[in-house]
Amino acid sequence: MAPARLTLDGLTKAYGDLPVLDDVSFEVGHGEFVAVVGPSGCGKSTLFDVVAGLEPPDGGRVLVDGIDVSGRTDAFAYMPQQDLLFPWRTVLDNTTLGLEVAGMRRREARERARPLFVEFGLAGFEGARPGELSGGMRQRAALLRTVVQERPVLLLDEPFGALDALTRADLQLWLSGVRARFDWTVVLVTHDIREAVFLADRVVVLGPRPTSVRQEVSVELPRPRDLSTITDPVFARAEAELLGALVR
């Protein structure tokens, strides 16, 4: 059997005397969309920092396609909670930042990012400054900056957490649609159960700190998903199962 795209193998991490991750293990398949939910303060962000290679694990390994990438950043494209678009760059040049860091010429990087602007609903805003974009557009630009790096795994850390409910629903619908047209492997951290069920193929439930995987719930909903998905009985069952696992 081919190794999973991403394998978390017994990750542990402590800050001083405070254990945060206690043997976290799960797998993500090729092209799979996995959501990670957990009570607030359980260590979701720490888990992401460890997986993304920003913090070394105390124990355990992170594997991509069977290769140990623990402490390495180059297998992951990371989207933090804030959009972090820089006002001194145009929207286009914000989206090419990762490519430039990787040493690509600016012109080449722009040619790589530009075609994605239509799909991301940003056409015509290439030369705009981030301050001229709406909240939803800023978040889409941040996601564009993430995916254009073409890393094997996308790590999205509560990307819609700071948005109002309508914009958020709008972006969830959009992401569900756009994701179907690309072959992305995604790990999404969220504390919104409905968001997790709507977007993910599988939801990993973390326990309170020091955290470990408490349960995995498969979301057997057909794709593409749209507004009718949320009235599907399967949706309600998955939501109830997750809520039960979280408050147990």
Partner 1 sequence: MTEPRTVQAPDSSSRGSVVEPGALRGPQHGGFAALRPQQSHHADVPRRPAEPPAVGARGVRRALAAVLPSLVLVAVGLIAWQWFVTASGVRPQVLPSPLRVAEQGWAAREQIWANTLPTLQVTAVGFAVSLAIGWAVAIAIDFSPWLRRALTPLLVASQTLPIIAIAPLLIIWFGFGLLPKVVVIALVTFFPVAVGLIEGFASTPPAATNLLRSMGASRWQRFRLVRLPQAMPSFFTALRIGITYAVTGAIFAEYVGATAGLGIYMSLQKNSFRTDLVLAAVVVTAVLSVTLFALTFVVERLVIPWHRRA
Binding site for partner 1 (CB under 8 A): 49, 52-54, 73-74, 76-78, 80-82, 84, 86-88, 97-98, 100-102, 125, 128-137, 149, 164, 166-167, 170
Cβ nearer to partner 1, comparing 60 with 135: 135
Report in angstroms how near the CB of residue 3 gets to partner 1 at its nearest: 23
3-state secondary structure of 27: strand
Closest separation in Å from C-beta 97 to partner 1: 7
106-115 contact pairs (CB < 8 A, 24+): 112/148, 113/144, 113/148
Number of residues assigned to the chain: 248
Closer to partner 1 at the Cβ: 96 or 229?
96
Residue 52, token pair as written in the block = 């993304």
The 3 state secondary structure assigned to 107-163 is: HHHHHHHCCHHHHCCCCCCCCCCHHHCCHHHHHHHHHHHHHCCCCCEEEEECCCCCC
What is the Cα 66 distance to its own chain's centre? 21
Nearer to partner 1, 52 or 206 (CB): 52
Using alpha carbons, list the distances in angstroms from residue 209 to 45, 126, 229: 12, 43, 33
Q: Which residues pair with 187 in a beta bridge?
A: 34, 155
Three-class secondary structure of residue 28 per DSSP: strand
Distance in Å, CB of 33 to partner 1, minimum: 20
Structure tokens at 238: 């998955």
State which residue, 119 or 170, has the beta carbon closest to partner 1: 170
Task: Tokens for 21, please give them.
Answer: 């991750």
Q: Which is nearer to partner 1, 9 or 170 (CB)?
A: 170
Least distance in angstroms from the C-beta of 143 to partner 1:
13
Q: Which is nearer to partner 1, 161 or 208 (CB)?
A: 161
CA-nearest of 147, 172, 177 to 159 is 172
Give me the least distance between CB of 91 and partner 1, in Å please: 11
> Would you say 60 or 80 has its CB closer to partner 1?
80
d(CA 159, CA 109): 24
- The least distance separating partner 1 from the CB of residue 172, rounded to whole angstroms, comes to 13
Least distance from partner 1 to the Cβ atom of residue 2, Å? 26
